[in-house]
Structure 1
Amino acid sequence: MRRRDFVLGALGTGALPYVLPQGAVAQTGRTTIPYGAAIRIDPMLEEPDYRKAVLDYCQVVVGEGGLKWIDLRPDRDSFVFDQPDRLLAFAEEHGLEMRGHTLAWYAAMPDWVETIASAEEARTELVRHIETVVGRYKGRISSWDVVNEPIADHPTREAPIRDSVWQRHLGKDYIELALRTTAKVNPDARLVINDFDFEQPTDKARARRKAFLDLIRELKARDVPLHAIGLQGHLQGEIAIDKSGLTAFVAELASMDLAIMVTELDIIDNLLPGPEIERDGIIAQRAKDFLDAIGAAKRPEAVLTWGISDRHTWVPIWFSRDDGMPNRPLPLDADFRPKPLMQVIQDFCAE
C-alpha cells in the first residue's frame, strides 16, 4: 500500500478533507469569538507582511517567547522585560488584547534554576517571579497561563504531575501556590491552566483527561482561584479527533464553572500527503472537528493559533517532512495568503 493511501485510510471516512466553499474569501475583522495568535516580536517589527497579517486578523496576541523564564531570567537576580514590553506596546497601540504566557512551566528554564536546592528556596523563587512579573503588568495583561502543561505525558495514579523543578521541591502544591500568588498580586486577572493532548482517541489521551480532571476537581474543592482552562490543540494531522471524548471532557470542565480557551492551535502535518490542496483540506477538517467538539459542550471565549503564518512556526523544528516539502500548520501560508484552516476558524468564531 502506498504511504499516501495508508495515511488517508487512517483518517477514516468520517474525516473527509475540508474544502473551502466555492467563491469563499477569508474575511478579516472582529468576530463573535476573538481570534488571536502567538507572535514573534522581531518579525512583527521587521516584516511588514507579518505585521499586516496580525493587524488584519487578530484581536488577541500572546508572545511565543518573552515571558518564559529562559527569556526573562538570565540569572537569579535579573529580569529582562524587553520582549514583552515591546509586544505589549504594539498591542496597546493597535487595540489588541495581550495574554501572558507563562508563569510556571517545566520547560524553557534557565540553567541556574537547577541550583535551587530546597522547598523553601523553590517557593521563594516562584513567588518572587510571579509577584514581579504579574505586578509589572497589572492592569495591562488581564489573562495569564499561570501553570503550563502540569500533567505528565503518561500519567499514572502514583505520578499524575509532570516532573519539574517545582514538582521536585514542592510537589503538586506548586500549582496552588502559583494560582494563589497570581490572584493575590492581581485580583482581577483571569487565571488559566494550559495543557495539551486531550483530543486523541488513545489510551494516553484518555489517561491525560482523567488526570487533568482529577487535578482540577481537587483545586476547585480547595477553593483555589482558577477561571479558565486552555486547550492547546497541537493536533496530529493523521489522527482523528475523539469528538465524543473531547466533548465530554469539556462538558465536565464547564460543569465546574470554568471557561474554555483554545490557546495554541496548529496542525502537525509531517505524516500527511504532500499535495498542498489535499493536505490543507485534511488540516482544516481536523481543526473543524476539534473546534466543533469543544463548542458542542461550551463555546470557547477565545481561539488562538500558535503562530499565524507558515513562515514562522515551531513545527518543522520537531516534525519536518521526509519529502522535504514545507510544513503547513497555520492559517496563513508562507506568503500570508489565507488557507482553508483560516476559513474554518473564522466560520467557527462567527457562528
Structure 2
Amino acid sequence: MRRRDFVLGALGAGLASAGAFDGLVRNDTAARAAFSRGGIPYGAAVRTDLLDAEFDYRDAIVDHCQLVVGEGGLKWFDLRPSQEQFVFDQPDRLIDFADRHGMQMRGHTLAWYGAMPDWTKSISSAAEAERELVHHITTVVGRYRGRIQSWDVVNEAIAETPIRGAVIRDSIWQERLGARYIEIALRTAADVDPSAQLVVNDYNIENPTSQCRDRRKAMLDLLRSLRDRDVPLHGVGIQGHLPGDMEIDKEGLSRFVEELKGMQLEVLVTELDVIDDKLPASEYERDQIVAQRAGDFLAAIGEAVRPGAILTWGITDRYTWVPMWFKRSDGKPNRPLPLDAGCRPKALMKVIDEFTRAAE
C-alpha cells in the first residue's frame, strides 16, 4: 500500500514538505492549494538568457515551478573565466527572477569534474588545489548565503565504472587532493553557510545493470565514510536521466533509498528526464513510455521515502541537452521533458503532478 498511496499522492493533509524548502508555494491557484497541504516542491533547470526573450518559456517556469536551478551560471566555466575573476551575472539574474516569483533557487554546482576553465589545468599541487577550491566555495556560497538554501556541493564524484581502488571519478580535484576533496568542499560550504542544505549529486543508479549496482554500492560506501568522519552532509541528489528503453530496478533503487533514509539523508530528484532516442517514432506512444519510466522511478523512491524535491533538467522539449548525445536516428525531435516544444503539458507532467501534489 505504501507505493500506491504515494502514487496517488495520499501524503496527508497536514504533512509539510521536509528539508530546505519549507514554505514554498506553487504559483497557479489549484497547485498552490495542493502544495500548501503538503505537496512536494517541483522545479526545473532554467536557461537564464531565455527568461526575458521567450515569454512562453518564462511563463511555463512561473506557472509550474517552485524551484529553479541554473543549467549553467554557477559552474566553474561560467563563473571563473580567469583565476582572478568571478562573473555572477547569470546566477544573480536567476535568483532575482526566483525572488520575484516566490521561488527558491538551488545551487549547482561547487565541485565537479566537468565544465572547468582552461586555467585550472595549471593547478599543480595539492596545496594550490585546496586553496583554489576553498576560495571558490567561500566566495560563491558567501555571496548567496541565506538566499540559496540547497547546494549540489559535489557533483558526479563516483567513477563511471567503479572498481576496487578507483571508485572516485578522475578530475583535477581527485588528481591533486584524492577523495578528500569531497570532505574539503562539504566542510567549507558548511562553514560559510551553516544553514544551507549540502547535497552530493550523481546519476546512473536506477537500472538493473551491474554498472548501476556497483555505482550504488560505491555511493553508499562514500556516504558512510563521510558520516563516520562527521563530515557535514544533508542530502543526496538522484539525477534521474532515465534511459527510456530500460526498466527501472525498482527493488534495487528502493533499497538504496532506504539506506539513505537510515543515514538521515534527504533524497532529492535533481535532473529528471527520459532519454527517448530508442523509443518508438509515434509521439503518443513515446510520451506514454516516457511517463511510465518516470512513474516507476519515482514510485521506487517513494516506496522508501518521500523526496524533498523533484526537479527536471529543463521543462520544455524545445530546450534539452538530450539530442547533443542521444539524437534520434529517424530525425524526429526528442521528447524527454514534461512540456512539449510549444510548452504544452505532456503525460510526464501528469505523472509529476501526481507525485508532487498532496491528497485532497
Letter in 2 for 1:274: A
Offset at 1:139? 1.1
Letter in 1 for 2:221: D
**Gap runs ≥5 in structure 1:** 1-25
Offset at 1:148? 0.2
Letter in 2 for 1:320: K
- Aligned match for 2:135, one of 101, 125, 128: 128
- Aligned match for 2:117, one of 81, 87, 110: 110
CA distance in 2, matches of 1:313, 1:45: 18
The answer on 1:52 being equivalent to 2:52 is no
CA RMSD of aligned residues (A): 1.0
Q: Could you tell me which residue of structure 2 aligns to residue 157 of structure 1?
A: 164
Offset at 1:27? 9.0
Letter in 2 for 1:95: G
Letter in 1 for 2:105: M
1:65-106 deviation per Cα after TM superposition (whole angstroms, max 9, x unaligned): 000000000010000000000001100011100000000000
Identical residues among aligned pairs (%): 64
Offset at 1:28? 6.1
Letter in 2 for 1:29: A
Question: Which runs of structure 2 are paired with 1:1-80 in the superposition (5 Å)?
Answer: 29-30=31-32, 31=35, 32-80=39-87
Ranges of 4+ aligned residues in structure 1 off by more than 4 Å: none
- Aligned match for 2:314, one of 302, 307, 311: 307
1:33-76 deviation per Cα after TM superposition (whole angstroms, max 9, x unaligned): 00000000111221000000000000000000000000000010
Tell me if structure 2 keeps the 8 A contact 1:237–1:269.
yes
CA distance in 1, matches of 2:246, 2:119: 39
Offset at 1:142? 1.0
Q: Could you tell me which residue of structure 2 aligns to residue 223 of structure 1?
A: 230
Q: Could you tell me which residue of structure 2 aligns to residue 297 of structure 1?
A: 304
Tell me if structure 2 keeps the 8 A contact 1:28–1:56.
no
Letter in 1 for 2:140: V
1:304-335 deviation per Cα after TM superposition (whole angstroms, max 9, x unaligned): 00000000110011110000000000000000
CA distance in 2, matches of 1:345, 1:256: 26
Number of equivalenced pairs: 326
Tell me if structure 2 keeps the 8 A contact 1:28–1:57.
no
Q: Could you tell me which residue of structure 2 aligns to residue 235 of structure 1?
A: 242
**Gap runs ≥5 in structure 2:** 1-27
Letter in 1 for 2:115: A
Q: Would the alpha carbon gap of residues 27 and 186 (structure 1) be closer, same or farther in structure 2, given more than 3 Å must change?
A: same
SS of aligned partner of 1:311: coil
The answer on 1:142 being equivalent to 2:144 is no
The answer on 1:83 being equivalent to 2:90 is yes
SS of aligned partner of 2:162: coil
1:184-232 deviation per Cα after TM superposition (whole angstroms, max 9, x unaligned): 0000010000000000000000000000000000000000000010000
Letter in 1 for 2:348: L
Q: Could you tell me which residue of structure 2 aligns to residue 287 of structure 1?
A: 294
1:221-271 deviation per Cα after TM superposition (whole angstroms, max 9, x unaligned): 000000010000000000000000000000001100000000000000000
Q: Would the alpha carbon gap of residues 117 and 28 (structure 1) be closer, same or farther in structure 2, given more than 3 Å must change?
A: farther
CA distance in 1, matches of 2:42, 2:146: 21
Tell me if structure 1 keeps the 8 A contact 2:31–2:357.
no
Q: Could you tell me which residue of structure 2 aligns to residue 173 of structure 1?
A: 180
Letter in 1 for 2:357: A
Letter in 2 for 1:96: M
Letter in 2 for 1:36: G
The answer on 1:245 being equivalent to 2:247 is no
CA distance in 2, matches of 1:28, 1:100: 28
- Aligned match for 1:343, one of 346, 350, 355: 350
Q: Could you tell me which residue of structure 1 aligns to residue 207 of structure 2?
A: 200
TM score, norm. by length of structure 1: 0.92
SS of aligned partner of 1:109: coil
Q: Could you tell me which residue of structure 1 aligns to residue 7 of structure 2?
A: none
CA distance in 1, matches of 2:102, 2:305: 27
CA distance in 1, matches of 2:344, 2:96: 26
CA distance in 1, matches of 2:30, 2:345: 10
Offset at 1:29? 2.5
TM score, norm. by length of structure 2: 0.90
SS of aligned partner of 2:168: coil
- Aligned match for 1:270, one of 261, 277, 282: 277
CA distance in 2, matches of 1:187, 1:252: 25
